[in-house]
Amino acid sequence: METTRKMSDQTPVLECRNLSISYYTRAGEIPAVVDFNLKLMPGESHGIVGESGCGKSTVALAIMQYMGKNGAIVGGELLFEGRDMRTMSAEELRKLRGSKIAMVYQEPMASLNPAMRIGEQLSEVPIYHEGVSQNEAWQRSADMLAKVRLPDPERIMKSFPHQISGGQQQRVVIAMALLSNPKLLLLDEPTTALDVTVEAGIVELIRDIADEFGTSMIYISHNLGLILETCDRLTVMYSGEAVEVGDIHDVFDEMRHPYTRGLFGSIPLPGADKNEHPLVAIPGQLPLPHERPKGCNFGPRCTFFRQGTCDTGRLPMHSVPGDDDHRVRCERFQEIDWARDLPKGEAKPPVESGDVVLSVDDMTKHYVIEESGFLIFGGEEKTVKANEKLNFSAREAETVAIVGESGCGKSTFAKVLMGLEDATAGHVKLGNVELGDLPVDKRDEKTISRLQMVFQNPFDTLNPSHTVGGQIARVIRKFGVAKAKEEVDEIVYRLLDIVKLPRDFAKRRPRQLSGGQKQRVGIARAFAGNPDVVIADEPVSALDVSVQAAVTDLLMDIQRENRTTLLFISHDLSVVRYLADRIVVMYLGQIMEQGSTEEIFSPPYHPYTEALLAAVPIADTSIEKRHIVLKGELPSPSNPPKGCPFSTRCQYMMPGKCDVEAPPIRAFGKQGHEILCHLDPSEMQEMEPVIKKKVEAA
Amino acid sequence: MAKLVLRRLVQMLLIMVVASLLLFAIFDTPEFKKRLAIQELGGFAVSALSEESYNQWLAEKGLDVPFYQRYANWIGNILTGNLGYSYEKATPVAPLLLDRLANTGILAFFVFALMIPISLLLGVLAGMKEGSFQDRAISFFSVFTTSIPEIATAILLTVIFALGLQWFPVKSAMIGGFQFDQLILPVLTLVLYDFGYVARMTRASMAEVMTSQYIRTAILKGLPYKRVIMKHALRNALIAPFTIIVLQLNWLLSGVVVVEVFFEYDGFGKLLLEAALFPDVEVVQACTLVAVAVAVLSQLISDIGYTFLNPRIRFA
Amino acid sequence: MAVSESVAAPTLIERLSAPKPAIVLLLLMWAPLTFYVMFGANQFVLLPAIPATILLYGVAFYNFRESTTAIIGLTLVFFWLLMAVSAPYLPLLDPNKPIAPFALPFSEKRDIFFWLGTDFKGRDMLSRMIWGCQRVIVWGVTATFVAYVVGTLFGLIAGYLSGWWDEIISFLANVLLSFPVMVLFIVILNYLGPSGFNIVVAVTFASAPAIMRIVRGLTLDIKTRDYVYAAQTRGEHPFYIMIIELLPNVRGPIIVDACLRLGYTTVAITTLTFLGLGLQPPDPDWGLMIREAAKTAMLWKFSYMLLVPALSVSTLILGFNLMADGLREMSLRD
């Protein structure tokens, strides 16, 4: 077999030896990456994983030798096929880039030139690297577009980037990278900007490329699950350093660095449960590059930290005994009993849910978009069906998750609930108050205070011009919880205690807080008026994994304490599985399936739920997943397909039925499990589970 | 595309209607009517006039009919080419204005012919390498020239080149027919004051494009630097400066006033100021209306040009 | 780095709004000068303004120390501010009285008393130059300030309330913006008559639409932020949202633009005065000095009479522009 050939016989495609990269700013030199080693063999794919600010993207740009004005490689060697790239001339580098080394970027839209047709941008590559003729370059580009499975390559060649969807754009970028058959492909978070079902398609494509072209790959991601699906080897980075390197299965199954394990402990894997197996967050925060501690960078957050061992100067990488390829940057890894000292959360008793608090009955929201009319000149009218006949209810102390990809109408639903939009038809009842046609300025203070919201973007959630305390205090006064200054201050302090922030944060401005801390303040603000229902719109999706767990748990704790109803809006099925009691799956403004968490995650499935489950990458080697890749892209909500909205992408599509008639609601079980589908109930019952424990080969 | 142009056109007409209405309304007060009488009959005659005969005079002139009717008449006249009568110069406004506009047109042509290439070139050079020496030098030079107001630039140029070196004449009245050397100082003044603004806008646009991700893509594709600049950067970076340059037409109509007055160049701006000081109401109205028309038209061209140059809008 | 922990230097806005003493100093400098110039108050009111100006320069210098550009601009502007507040106390000759028989009109004689010579009426040029900055600074700043209040208010309303408010306000702004600025000035001042207060009105009409557009654009951007949704969902009144949530966050870009616009307004006032539509004689003003000299002194020998006011006004405007540049540079770093 190929892989059994001894590695030392081959020249590595890329080798980084003790690479150090710094940025120069007003504050002086900031080391971004220190002492980075990597050896990439032909045909191998290597993952680099880490949280934001760990230096993983810096490594990618350093490999491309594109550091901008203020960045520079300050030490070490960077060998490409045995030659040090640092000694190459600008012209040699130019010839290497795009032909031997190619890159795929995080944001496909921004990476393509908006003013040039795609064909022109693609055919440049062979023209400038191989000197082929215009016609041949064009032909090769079109062929490559077909290879990355884009429909109708000729049409796409003639389009501008904004005329195709995000997933298609990323395929174009991948095609561009593959055009000159590179030796090394760098992928920097290539699917982060895309929806899960689109991501699944791209990941499948990347895997096939590795097989078909034999290209070596470096795959950079914050998502451990994606790395598991695409890579052979893995480097875990923390605060500018590689902390653990090894074969992917070794690292996943026998991790030997406390940070790696902390990371795994804070992501919701199947089996995690908010009551029995709560997540364990890594305490503390990522240190700033110029405030890194002496010794181990992870020291201040590590439970195994020992003075005298972990804080004395630079730490080297050690090989794990018995496996030369598995290396960790930890002084104590051999002293730790890795099987016993697993991070374990405290189990909590499950909460009994109470009466129905919020009921949504045939709620419909249509937008009418006028084609930007001017004064007397109205344009054509277009109706966007953002929400179509939504039906569900939420009980006291219950967590209901609303899941869906972009354009599914989950944010519109939140707006109607909060009174920023009127419902077009149907009812939304909070207790016995009808909210559907009651905009927020007509609601009384009592009603408003019963319904509050936690927002998605930590950078936007707080007003940068006012202090943290001032913003919480405003809510307390506004909802009449307290009026006197001392009383209000007391409540502000108590809320800060609850969200585990120091009291002197009240005087700080949001700019001085990290993303996770801002989100905690956002939660404190939402709970300041003692609400009955809190809507959380993707509250953790913009946060790093280790912070996500802490914020999620905090939210759950406060909810448990106050018996609040939580509507959790998310696109992330893993988080939802972890914390939700009931799940509502939405697609293009309609509810496709709803039921208890257990019911959603096991057959019968709605075909969309089935695909969604299959698309979510899972960072667990003991899990087996069925492969379903949806064809096509999400249709635009302003122009939804006739019949079933999912009919254009469904693998069970029955022509003449699904694309013509609206599907019926099929009910299963007694707990209100409902599926909106034409499929026969028995057919759905027979579906295989998507996620299964691997059967151990005994 | 056609729809957009049509909408802009309607918008432009509406603006013209409201602007002309404003213009007509503010000069439609009893004092201005009286001033009109003084201009026609002489101050002494008007002060001797009884109220009755003054009203009779108003009726004779058609100044007593309702406002909207007179506005309609005025607009009707303008649309048929009758722009009124200049009491100061004792001549119909239309031919006078046309003649002056032609002079200003000559001035404007040379200003644009010089300013566009200079400002685009300097802007692109500065924006290409943000923070470099060439960028700092060009940026400082353009802040400096834009900081000196036209009147001061005119003075400096006159003192140096006309009074000191005596290369060019002090005034540009063109008394002995069109003379090219009289045009140089006014043109230079306008160019010096204005190129900096356009150059800075071009620089900002270019600098933004150069830090964009698609330029990174182009470089990491291994394209030669020249190709990156000429093909990838300029196409995007020159969209914004184009609209700004067209909009400079509006600015030029302001700028010419002081320059034409200072150099005594017989153009549109000087005519407007003289009429305003006299005051020659119908000339002021006609000049302003023409200026607004030019400005609105340049806005229209700029908008259409922008949508045409930007594929994101053209092929939306 | 996405989630930055940075507690480094305070942002530009915080620096500009934090020091309460600076605001007191600003008032101490500004109020006397305004009363003195606009309403002819006794010159004693200017006494506290002189130390206030110097102290304010110190405060500003300290806060802008990292940008050389801003420091140069600041120094130019404060030089003229200091001249404006201290003019009555400087050992200068009366700017409005011919100083014959000691010096003749058009005197080029420059000795220890008459550094810059005398003008066509025999008045001391140095004294006229220094006194000349008062009116243009006071009226220029007042006019710009009023234009900002009006423009910001309409911009917030148009941007936040949208719909018909936006349609109407934007349309009116478009109408005003379609007049070339100088033409608009001429029409308005021709209608109202030349005076300082009417300049304020004219500048407001000419500048407020552009300011409104900027504020409207910023508001449209900021109103989609989650903290604005948070305020809306707790049922705050639109005016509360505009003033408390939006206004503090549009301040930054506005301050930079204000420096630039102060320059434009100074140019406009000087130009209008030169054209005979602005400030009126006999009190000295740079525009007037240019106007008078341009009529009488078009000779190489007398070119100093043109150059002195021209260079004075240029340095003041350069000061404003460099300050704007420096501030922009600093705000980009934040």
A137-187 pLDDT, tens digit per residue, is 999 999 999 988 888 889 999 999 988 888 889 999 999 998 888 989 999
How many contacts (CB atoms, under 8 Å) link B and C?
A: 130
CB contact at 8 A, C267 and C309? no
Query: Is residue B28 included in any domain, yes or no?
Result: yes
The confidence band for A379, taking pLDDT boundaries of 50, 70 and 90, is low
Q: Which of C176, C248, C253 is nearest to C214 (CA)?
A: C253
Q: Are residues A571 and A626 in the same domain?
A: no
pLDDT more than 90, % of chain A: 19
Q: Sort strands A356-370 and A665-668 into parallel, antiparallel or unpaired.
A: unpaired
Closest-CA residue of C relative to B17 is C175
B137 touches chain C (CB under 8 A): no
> What per-residue confidence (pLDDT) applies to C331?
76
Mean pLDDT of C113-117: 61
Given a cut of 80, whether residue C176 has pLDDT beyond it is yes
- Token match 């799956």: residue? A585
Q: Are residues B19 and B119 in the same domain?
A: no
Mean pLDDT of chain B: 85
Q: Indicate whether A262 belongs to any domain.
A: no
Domain around B76: 2-82
Q: Are residues B231 and B291 in the same domain?
A: yes
**DSSP-based three-state secondary structure for A530:** coil
Note whether B259 and B112 are same-domain residues: yes
- Mean pLDDT, residues C188-207: 88
Residue A60 counted as domain residue: yes
Residue that finishes a domain, picked among B52, B82, B112:
B82
Q: Is A128 within 8 Å of chain B by CB?
A: yes
pLDDT at position C300 is 74
**Nearest chain B CA: its distance from A361 CA (Å):** 37
Angle between the N-to-C axes of helices C303-333 and B133-147, in degrees from 0 to 180, rounded to the nearest 10:
130
Regarding whether A628 and A507 lie in a shared domain, the answer is no
Residue A337 pLDDT > 80: no
Tokens for A590, please give them: 């309609």
User: Is the CB of C3 inside 8 Å of chain A's CB atoms?
Assistant: yes
Is B89 inside any structural domain?
no
Q: Give the other-Cβ count within 10 Å of A483's Cβ.
A: 9
Same domain assignment for residues B167 and B206 = yes
Give the global pTM: 0.86
Q: What is the pLDDT of residues A417-428, one digit of tens each?
A: 888 888 888 888
Whether A282 maps to a domain, the answer reads no
CA of residue A568 relative to chain centroid, distance? 16
The yes-or-no verdict on residue A278 having pLDDT over 60 is yes
* Domain assignment of residue A337, yes or no: no
Q: How far apart (Å, rounded) are the C-alpha atoms in residues B123 and B107?
A: 24
Concatenated DSSP letters of B204-233: HHHHHHHTSHHHHHHHHTT--HHHIIIIII
Q: In chain C, helix, strand, coil percent, each to 5?
A: 75, 0, 25
DSSP-assigned letters across all residues of A596-629? EHHHHTSSS--HHHHHHHHHS----TTEEE----
CB A497 within 8 A of CB A503: yes
Q: What are phi and psi of A340, to 5 degrees?
A: -85, -45
The predicted pLDDT at position C299 comes to 72
Mean pLDDT of B225-231: 91
Q: What is the pLDDT of residues A626-681, one digit of tens each?
A: 888 887 777 877 778 888 888 888 888 888 888 888 898 888 887 789 999 998 88
**Among A83, A338, B144, residue whose Cα is nearest residue C315:** B144
Q: Domain of A225? A: 12-231
What digits encode the pLDDT tens for the residues B144-197? 888 888 889 998 888 888 888 888 887 777 777 677 788 889 999 999 988 888
Between CA B197 and CA B108 the distance in angstroms is 17
* Last residue in a domain, options B24, B50, B82: B82
> Same domain for A153 and A192?
yes
**Maximum distance among all alpha carbons in chain B?**
89
Same domain? For A100 and A224 the reply is yes
Stretch C119-126: mean pLDDT: 72
N- to C-terminal Cα separation, chain B: 10
- Report the domain count for chain B: 2
Q: Which of A219-228, A290-299, B92-101, C94-103 has the lowest mean pLDDT?
A: C94-103
- Mind listing the pLDDT tens digit for each residue in A88-138? 888 888 988 988 999 999 889 999 999 999 999 999 999 999 889 999 999
The band of A544, judged by pLDDT with boundaries at 50, 70 and 90, is confident
Domain count, chain A: 3
Contact C290 B277 (CB under 8 A): no
**Separation of alpha carbons A36 and A329, rounded Å:** 11
- Could you say which of A208, A231, A254 is where a domain stops? A231
Residue C106: per-residue pLDDT = 55
Specify if B298 maps to a domain.
yes
Which candidate, A474, A679, A480, A453, places its Cα nearest to that of A568? A453
pLDDT of residue A641: 85
The CA distance from A74 to A58, in Å, is 13
Give strand pairing partners of A675.
A593, A666
If you average pLDDT over residues A72-95, what whole number do you get? 88
Residue of C nearest to B277 (CA): C190
Closest CA to A526 of B247, B286, C226: C226
Stretch C200-221: mean pLDDT: 92
Residue B77 has pLDDT above 50, yes or no: yes
B66 prior amide bond cis, ω within 30 = no
Q: Does B292 contact C at CB distance below 8 Å?
A: yes
pLDDT for A3 equals 44
Q: Is B111 part of a structural domain of the chain? A: yes
- Cβ–Cβ contacts within 10 Å for residue B277, how many? 16
Nearest CA to CA, how far is C217 from chain A (Å)? 17
Judge if B280 and B138 occupy the same domain.
yes
Of B82, B117, B140, the residue that ends a domain is B82
Contact A436, A364 (CB under 8 A): no
Disruptive mutation site among A58, A438, A460 for chain C (greatest number of C CBs within 10 Å): A460
Same domain assignment for residues A651 and A520: no
Indicate whether B104 and B168 sit together in one domain: yes
Same-domain check for residues B158 and B45? no
Record: contact A53-C230, CB cut-off 8 A? no
Q: Both A28 and A161 in a single domain?
A: yes
Whether A557 contacts chain B with CB within 8 A: no
Contact (CB<8Å) C3/A516: yes
Q: How far is CA A172 from CA A209, A513, A592, A605, C60, in A?
A: 14, 39, 31, 33, 52
CA gyration radius, chain C: 22
Indicate if the pLDDT at residue A407 is higher than 50.
yes
Of the residues A197, A231, A265, the one at which a domain ends: A231
Residues A196 and A55 in one domain: yes
Q: Is residue A308 part of a domain?
A: no
Nearest to A254 by CA among A379, A339, A353, A361: A339
Residue A371's pLDDT is what? 57
Q: Are residues B224 and B302 in the same domain?
A: yes
Q: Are residues A549 and A645 in the same domain?
A: no
Q: What is the mean pLDDT of chain A?
A: 85
* Contact between A168 and A118 (Cβ < 8 Å): no
Assigned domain for B157 exists:
yes
Residue C42, C-beta contacts closer than 8 angstroms, at least 6 positions apart: C36
- Whether A580 is in a domain gets the answer yes
Q: Would you call A473 helix, strand, or coil by DSSP?
A: helix
Q: Identify the CA nearest to C143 among candidates C82, C179, C188.
A: C188
Note whether B42 and B161 are same-domain residues. Answer: no
State phi, psi for A686 to the nearest 5 degrees.
Answer: -85, 0
Chain A residue numbers with beta carbons less than 8 Å from the beta carbon of B219 are 66, 97
Q: Give the number of A-C residue pairs with CB atoms closer than 8 Å.
A: 92
Does residue A2 fall inside a structural domain?
Answer: no
Any idea of the CA torsion for B174, B176, B181, B183, to the nearest 10 degrees? 20
* Global ipTM: 0.84
Report yes or no on B309 lying in a domain. yes
CB environment A333-354: b (16+ within 10 A), e (fewer): beebeeeeeeeebeeeeebebe
Q: Are residues A476 and A541 in the same domain?
A: yes
Cβ-Cβ contacts under 8 Å for B316 (sequence gap 6 or more): A162
pLDDT at A193 over 70: yes
Q: How confident is the model at residue A446 (pLDDT cuts 50, 70, 90)?
A: confident
Classify residue B148: in a domain, yes or no. Answer: yes
Q: Would you place residue C203 in the very low, low, confident or very high pLDDT band (cuts 50, 70, 90)?
A: very high
Asked whether A97 and B219 are in contact (CB, 8 A), the reply is: yes
Q: Is the C-alpha dihedral spanning A38, A44, A50, A55 positive or negative?
A: positive
CA–chain centroid gap for A51, Å, is 12
3-state secondary structure of C75: helix
Of the two residues B54 and B109, the one the predictor is more confident about is: B109
How far, in Å, are B1, B301, C170, C214 from residue B8 at the CA level? Answer: 11, 10, 14, 21
Nearest-angstrom CA–CA distance, C217 and C212: 8
**pLDDT value of position C204:** 93
A42 lies in the same domain as A169: yes
Quickly list DSSP for A426-465.
Answer: EEEEETTEE-TT--GGGS-HHHHHHEEEE-S-TTTSS-TT
Q: Which of A79-93, A457-471, C5-19, C151-165 has the lowest mean pLDDT?
A: C5-19
B302 shares a domain with B172: yes
**Do B116 and B48 sit in the same domain of this protein?**
no
Same domain, A648 and A514: no
Identify whether residues A538 and A639 lie together within a single domain: no
- Does residue A665 lie in a domain region? yes
Q: Please report all neighbours of A, defined by 3+ CB atom pairs within 8 A.
A: B, C
Residue A339 has pLDDT above 90, yes or no: no
Whether B88 maps to a domain, the answer reads no
Residue B218's pLDDT is 93
What pLDDT band is residue C107 in, cutting at 50, 70 and 90?
Answer: low
Average pLDDT of the segment spanning C56-79: 88
The larger pLDDT score, comparing residue A11 to residue B123, is at B123
Where residue B224 sits, what CATH number does that domain have?
A: 1.10.3720.10
Query: What is the reported pLDDT for C109?
Result: 56
The CATH number of the domain holding residue A479 is 3.40.50.300
Contact with chain A for residue C299, Cβ under 8 A: no
- Work out the minimum CA distance from A644 to partner chain B, whole angstroms: 28
Between these two residues, C122 and B114, which has the higher pLDDT value?
A: B114
Please check whether residues B39 and B179 belong to one and the same domain: no
3-class SS shares of chain B: helix, strand, coil, % to 5? 80, 0, 20
Scan residues 373-412 of A and list those with Cβ closer than 8 Å to B. 374-375, 377
Reported as a pLDDT band with limits 50, 70 and 90, residue A370 is low
- Residue A430's pLDDT is what? 87
